Amino acid sequence: MTTTEQHIDQILIPILEQVSDPEIPVLSIMDMGVVRSAQIINGIVEVEITPTYSGCPAMDVIGDDIKKALKDEGYKSTIDLILHPAWTTDWITPRGRKALEDYGIAAPLEAQADKDVLLNEKRLVKCTNCGSQNTRLVSQFGSTACKSQFQCEDCQEPFDYFKCLK
């Protein structure tokens, strides 16, 4: 139960990579780390996904999108939502982090640094527009459950920061 390994059939990876988070379309669900397993068992693809945040409304959509992507390739599938082990931002791949940054969302920092920035004690989050670290926390809560709002004091760009979750 404590394993954090993913068990994903190689054949399914390219299909699953086409599915993205509906709220962050540049980020594939594979790079986000929400797919925990995908196996073909008796001709049916059994997929397990884990929510980023409990109330994330994207999970239902992601489940439907996975089903559709698999169906387009001729697979029937079942989707299970699992809660254990709990998702962490560590599961976002390096490619996923880069996609976030390019999209204008600062990628999560380490746990302690995250705490420092969210208490507005240290300025560590880099502006996604100009790269300056002279940024200010506007609110711990942002446009979706997983983000908080920041503003750059140099170029004035408002942007989201993906909160660290461990």
Partner 1 sequence: MKENLYNYILGIADNSLILGQRMGELCGHGPSLETDIACTNISLDLFGQVRSYFQYAAKIAGDGRNEDDIAMLRKEREYKNVLLVEQPNTNFAYSIGRQFLFDVYHLAFLAEQQKSADLTLSAIANKCIKEVSYHERFSSDWVRRLGDGTEESNKKMQEAINDLWAYTDELFHQTEADKAMVVEGLGVDVTKLKDEFYKSVSDLLEEANLQTPESKWFQKGGKEGIHTEHLGFLLSDLQYMQRTYPNMEW
The answer to the question of residue 116 lying near partner 1 (CB under 8 A) is: no
Compute the distance between CA of residue 32 and CA of residue 103 in angstroms, rounded to an integer. 14
The answer to the question of residue 141 lying near partner 1 (CB under 8 A) is: yes
The answer to the question of residue 3 lying near partner 1 (CB under 8 A) is: no
Scanning residues 30 to 69, which ones bind partner 1 (CB under 8 A)?
A: 51, 53-57
Q: Closest distance between partner 1 and the C-beta of residue 75, in Å?
A: 26
Query: What is the phi-psi region of residue 156: left when phi exceeds 0, alpha when psi lies from -120 to 50, beta otherwise?
Result: left
User: What token pair was written down for 73?
Assistant: 């390739």
DSSP state of 157: -
Please select the residue that binds partner 1; options are 8, 145, 153, 157, rule is CB under 8 A: 145
The answer to the question of residue 158 lying near partner 1 (CB under 8 A) is: no
Q: Hey, what long-range contacts does 13-16 have (CB within 8 A, 24 or more apart)?
A: 15/69, 15/70, 15/73, 15/75, 16/47, 16/66, 16/69
Omega before 108 within 30 of 0, i.e. cis: no
Q: Closest distance between partner 1 and the C-beta of residue 151, in Å?
A: 11
The answer to the question of residue 149 lying near partner 1 (CB under 8 A) is: yes
Binding residues for partner 1 (CB under 8 A): 1, 51, 53-57, 83-87, 118-119, 138-143, 145, 149, 163, 165-166
